[in-house]
Structure 1
């Protein structure tokens, strides 16, 4: 009996359609119709709502140093691994493979939370020769993903930043950042904080599929407005740009400007490791008639491949189509007024934190 191709199906509230095997697994399994109705039964089970599971982790260190020449920050802190937002294009999905979990549905439903992040960060900031530099919060996965409402790990980090006058910046797709304005706004007034909000498109139908548990585009615009009204320097991120899908770059920039953002940046879609098959599955589920065109254009920007990790091109791509996206962005920013002034953070205000608990005895 030959295998029959089984069409993938969208899972409500989730970006990935499968529990894709990670690259370190020896065995990969695919469903096929054996003619005994077991497939239909399995699909019925698969359609049951998937619950989010929190996996606690005791971190030994939390400040990560970055040496990539195409990334603007040198240090970052990430309260979570995995992300409920479920953005299908997320370049961090392959990181779950190192935890022996799927970059597909596991990445969205099994969230690793660093329960001791604030205490470990306090210890690191208290080191005798610590030199303050901008810390980017939530650079791998969103620090304001839905589980943050309950766990408040990002809140604990920002409380420490507030206590020590340590500058930070963060990027989010969530309106949850508004909760912490009581801390962020006073720090912004002292030149110690900024917030970037990602808006890939104003098309709500597209973003509901692309970023299923992130805030809707109009809600992110309202968050930008709320932040700027409270004196917080804001930027809009248009990352990633996806050919034949996120086609309203100029409209996003205009709306973000009206909401108060004065800086903007973008990247083109990146498909490292397991992100590539996951994104192709997603295209098959949601945009099958457009899938070949989307991938062909991505190949045009990646030297004929799904992805090229070269530092010189991985963020913006290469070739005429990548240059066209860049020209559109630069001309729109120049016309509207973006990026005429850069945010300068004041590291001179930093004061080392007082140690707590037994650390105070030494």
Structure 2
């Protein structure tokens, strides 16, 4: 890790990244792509040392809204356990009456359940959890340095019991690896059982471009010998890599989410995540 100074912390849409880079090691991660212009090794995480100061200044100036994080870097990387930048941000978000949502694969988020509950009482806190495979052994291969799926499901159960709404990212689905009916149905079972509000699934497949393609192929050679050559033959240098089972898997996804009243259109889910439902509950400053 290394420290950097940032000129700003919140985007115009109230998104933030306290860290840049990640140590989860997911073999498919798009954030490795060269298009994002990262000038350091992906695992050498840049910590924005002045982010909390910048966040406080922005929260004072802006109208209350949902603050989001996790689009580029999982905020609950192992470093967060020691540095507590997310936890300190949550205190500011609660203090100034904002809402919060984040995307993560980590059970470390339960450390901050007390703050999530306080924010949710005042406005809204939504946790977005990524699930790609119901098989923990496969999970340890494609997402090696973060808790396995079974533990993430336990996190969803705990959040549901605490009345914290959740959204699941059912992606990416890797052709010839996790693109099976059994896998998709098992993940949907988890989502139904834990009462998730919505599921993001744009299509069954993944995206590859310069930067993340090379890392992905390196891991295919390591864990799935011969599969890289199949990808190259079938997809070349395409950005979108669809599963050959996409049509059938999407039918299953649409049918089961509709049957159980789970949001499945990304426009509706994004609208829900950005909606700021201010509540009349009065809270003391932390």
1:63 paired with 2:10, answer yes
Counterpart for residue 115 of structure 1: 49
Q: 1:287 aligns with which of 192, 217, 224?
A: 224
Change (3 A) 1:219 1:137: same
Question: What SS does the corresponding residue of 2:71 show, helix, strand or coil?
Answer: coil
Q: What whole-Å deviation, never above 9, does each CA across 1:9-57 have from its counterpart, x for those lacking one?
A: xxxxxxxxxxxxxxxxxxxxxxxxxxxxxxxxxxxxxxxxxxxxx1011
Question: Which structure shows the higher helix fraction?
Answer: 2
Q: Distance in 1 between matches of 2:169 and 2:123?
A: 21
Counterpart for residue 330 of structure 1: 254
Q: Distance in 2 between matches of 1:111 and 1:249?
A: 32
What residue ranges of structure 1 are gaps of 5+ in the alignment? Answer: 1-53, 66-73, 309-316, 351-362
Counterpart for residue 276 of structure 1: 213
Q: Distance in 2 between matches of 1:146 and 1:263?
A: 27
Computed over aligned residues only, the root mean square deviation of the Cα atoms, in angstroms, reads 2.6
Counterpart for residue 149 of structure 1: 81
Structure 1 residue 188: deviation in Å? 1.7
Q: Where in structure 2 are the equivalents of 1:276-315 lying within 5 Å? A: 276-294=213-231, 299=235, 305-307=237-239
Q: Distance in 2 between matches of 1:258 and 1:151?
A: 34
1:250 paired with 2:174, answer no
**TM-score scaled to structure 1, two decimals?**
0.68
Q: Distance in 1 between matches of 2:141 and 2:244?
A: 28
**TM-score scaled to structure 2, two decimals?**
0.85
Q: Distance in 2 between matches of 1:215 and 1:257?
A: 21
Structure 1 residue 88: deviation in Å? 1.4
Q: What whole-Å deviation, never above 9, does each CA across 1:307-340 have from its counterpart, x for those lacking one?
A: 15xxxxxxxx779754444323212312343228
Rg (Cα) greater in structure:
1
**Are the counterparts in 1 of residues 129 and 166 from structure 2 also a CA contact under 8 Å?**
yes
What residue ranges of structure 2 are gaps of 5+ in the alignment? Answer: 281-286
Counterpart for residue 353 of structure 1: none
Q: 1:227 aligns with which of 132, 136, 159?
A: 159
Counterpart for residue 77 of structure 1: 16
Q: 1:181 aligns with which of 77, 100, 113?
A: 113
Q: Distance in 2 between matches of 1:256 and 1:177?
A: 18
Any runs of at least 4 consecutive aligned residues in structure 1 with deviations exceeding 6 A, and if so which? 317-320
Q: Distance in 2 between matches of 1:86 and 1:58?
A: 25
Change (3 A) 1:245 1:320: closer
Change (3 A) 1:202 1:321: closer
**Are the counterparts in 2 of residues 93 and 107 from structure 1 also a CA contact under 8 Å?**
yes
